[in-house]
Each structure stands twice: as C-alpha cells, then as structure tokens.
Amino acid sequence: MFVIDWLQTCEFVRENSERFILYCLCGCLIGISVIFMTIIIVLYIDKRFKIKSNYQSPQINMKYDDKSCYLPIYRYNCRTHTEFYHV
C-alpha cells in the first residue's frame, strides 16, 4: 500500500511539475519569513526589556558617594538676570 501511494505521488508530481515547484517555493518563502519574523521579534523584546531593566535597577559598580561622576547642574537665577548659580 505504501509503495502504491508513493508511485501515485511521483506520477502526480511529474504531471503537475509547475504546481509542485510553485508550492515548494511558496512553502520555503513562508518558512523563511516566519523564521526571520521570530528572530526580529525576539531581538526587539530583548532590547526593550534590556532598556527597561537599565532604568529600573542601578548598576552594581556605581558609587553614590563619588560626586565626580555626576554632571554639574546650572540653574538660571531669574532675579539677577546675570548670574548662574551651581546647585
């Protein structure tokens, strides 16, 4: 039974070779597209969670006592209009 089915399938493919090639190419194209979309989604989600985790938790090597790592903030004193003072 298995041999007869296989022979009938080979005969059908010989008669309809254009259709067979079209279905094979479409299947390969859909498979490659699904793989690429999966890779893109995984990389996007990984990047998104990496950015969120950087904002939520401080780095381990960061020293809070060291003032040299912070940038100075200057504010405009609107009363004098000529001076900036350091915060």
Q: Which two tokens stand for residue 73?
A: 């903030």
Domain ranges of the chain: 2-61
pLDDT, tens digit, 9 for 90 and up, residues 20-71: 999 999 999 999 999 999 999 999 998 887 766 555 555 555 555 555 566 6
pTM here?
A: 0.49
Rounded CA-CA distance 86/77 in Å is: 10
How far does CA 18 lie from the centroid of its chain?
37
pLDDT, tens digit, 9 for 90 and up, residues 30-39: 999 999 999 9
Q: Which positions ≥6 away from 77 have C-beta within 8 Å?
A: 83, 84, 85
